[in-house]
Structure 1
């Protein structure tokens, strides 16, 4: 991989992109990266309302002999990217609360081109940039906050067919701003979702009206607050003109991990699509199938930590509540990988002959989520565990993406 061209092109555009984000270097860099990939995919540029911006960007690149024509530019740019889009694209998507790009990896594999991406966690953004050659924008509320008009959202977020988001589960307040007083919105979801990240999804969907909303969350969102949270999500999406469909899916037939997640696929009603989730079934995959053959002692947990797990497990079993920590059965899928795994590894401890059990390595965590071997890992373990624990299971998203594309094409 040669990233020199990408880095040089990004640096050239920074002066221009900083005019849109004067005091925010990271978002200015994200904007420059988005411009480069938009040129390579023949897409409109963010904030280019008149068409003059594209000409300015191309001249800047051309003066440095980085742009001759789109074919040359695309070829040079993608040489510096581990996971570029397919050469043949069929649809565009945006990647919100993007994490390390699990949705992007899956959607690109079925012919998608990412038009916009956002993620607030700085460490996850670095991992995302290493693999896709594009730094995500930060806090999505810059683009979709209540003070933003639909016109601003339309001008700043590119048109897209699919809005993809693995959004956090948050309690919805009933004390938000009245819908009648909300700027540019006349929908009931406003007062109930104000201040949550789901609100930002709804604002963008209201303004851009993509064909499909493709969302993911923890399985407990269905029963969160006795079902009230999910009721608000369903009614909000329905009010925006989308047909709400959901299913809780276990990933273990596709990756060796029991990961039950709630997936929501919502087609715009005017498209007349009666979507049905594909069946994901089969024998659960064994944990041993993704383990590395040689692992350093740094992953073996200490005597103190292991004894602490044993003691707490014993106490919790006696009282019938709390966590338990046992070594994993390698012939079965692992427990769900979670963001806190790096703290003590209790969710998945690998047995070792003559030693205390060990934690999973970051590469094994990547495999548990279905990331390919060439995926570039974070440089240290702590952020790696958090990032993979927060990620989606890529093969599950890919199967759903294929079924979505069958109905879109």
Structure 2
């Protein structure tokens, strides 16, 4: 079968690899976390896996000439929930380690033909847009043309998960007219993205591409479709525990529970705990329910409030429990053959820190493979 080659930086459990699929051959993968590396090994082996700091990766560790370098770099310092340190922060500064490796490859004439950078949408506004501008400046200075898209995983799986994807192409990679437009295109180019584009330097904007892609027409599963009948690693709450969850709800969300009970059928919803301001301006924890068939965005379980709760309403009966690790994996588009860590927090963190595999496949179909297919003849895989 024909194949493309790639490096997977910040690989986690290899969800970009899962999304790219069998046409893509991994040359190198890395992650700093030993626990995530263990999950990667369990699913993909460790022939090409390096566990360590991205700042220590040099060109000698990166074999061949890759068609793609994928980098889902840490989001904590760019997230709206973070401290706002941006690309100079302890975690998100890992982008510069990735970028130094790309520049070293370029110096050897081995710059990857395409790059994909994935992060939270907060990267568009972090430090008043200066971080996004810095990334654009770096790409432009290195001779890459680039553009960005905001893609919500809810187009493919029942999880609300909008993420920023920056897609860059090296010199010599042709772009057919059908892949680029004259200006912003919904739903990919949001107001925040357009504003971030306007804040870049003139030189960076000269290398900007308004990527085009047809929205998917997939029949997306609902939250009820991914719920396990016999979940592993979680239990149903006691009546007292369920009442404690309901007690955190504002009247609007209690009304949603009542409406679901009056619907005459079992309703499956998701509950997420958030900090809200009350009438006095004080911060209080609230539980918010949704019954639109979509879960909220998975997050990493730093505490109980980061984990989503499932709620089943059947008439007057209300049951709650934590979302299981397998359900979280399904929300990321991973099939049930994907091997998860045995520990609940490790498995949930692996999912919450990852990239939704079907979004990766969409980008490969819509942009990466057409770009690379035009750039060179494909290489036949030996054997």
Q: TM-score by structure 1 length?
A: 0.65
Q: Which residue of 1 aligns with 2:331?
A: 368
1:231 to 119, 133, 157: 133
Q: CA deviation at 1:339?
A: 1.1
Q: CA deviation at 1:104?
A: 0.9
Q: Which residue of 1 aligns with 2:24?
A: 112
Q: CA deviation at 1:325?
A: 1.6
Aligned in 2, Cα 1:273/1:296: closer, same or farther, shift over 3 Å?
Answer: closer
**Structure (1 or 2) with the greater strand fraction:** 2
1:279 aligns with 2:241: no
Aligned in 2, Cα 1:304/1:242: closer, same or farther, shift over 3 Å?
Answer: farther
1:300 aligns with 2:266: no
Deviations 1:32-64 (A, max 9, x none): xxxxxxxxxxxxxxxxxxxxxxxxxxxxxxxxx
Q: Which residue of 2 aligns with 1:155?
A: 60
Q: Which residue of 1 aligns with 2:365?
A: 402
In 1: Cα distance, 2:175 partner to 2:326 partner: 39
Contact 2:236 2:321 in 1 (8 A): yes
Aligned residues: CA RMSD: 3.0
1:288 aligns with 2:224: yes
Secondary structure of the equivalent of 2:117? strand
In 2: Cα distance, 1:341 partner to 1:154 partner: 35
Give the count of matched residue pairs: 295
Secondary structure of the equivalent of 1:252? helix
Deviations 1:245-278 (A, max 9, x none): 1011111121111110001110013323265242
In 1: Cα distance, 2:161 partner to 2:92 partner: 28
Q: Which residue of 1 aligns with 2:104?
A: 207
In 1: Cα distance, 2:10 partner to 2:137 partner: 22
Aligned in 2, Cα 1:341/1:156: closer, same or farther, shift over 3 Å?
Answer: closer
Deviates more, 1:230-239 or 1:305-314: 305-314
Contact 2:156 2:359 in 1 (8 A): yes
Deviations 1:278-329 (A, max 9, x none): 2334576421111112347943245665455445444946437665323441
Structure 1: gaps (5+ residues): 1-87, 145-152, 173-189
Deviates more, 1:268-277 or 1:98-107: 268-277
Aligned in 2, Cα 1:334/1:97: closer, same or farther, shift over 3 Å?
Answer: same
Q: Which has the higher contact order (CA 8 A, sep 6+)?
A: 2
**Structure (1 or 2) with the greater helix fraction:** 1
1:384 to 347, 352, 356: 347
Aligned in 2, Cα 1:361/1:191: closer, same or farther, shift over 3 Å?
Answer: closer
Aligned in 2, Cα 1:224/1:129: closer, same or farther, shift over 3 Å?
Answer: same
In 1: Cα distance, 2:303 partner to 2:89 partner: 35
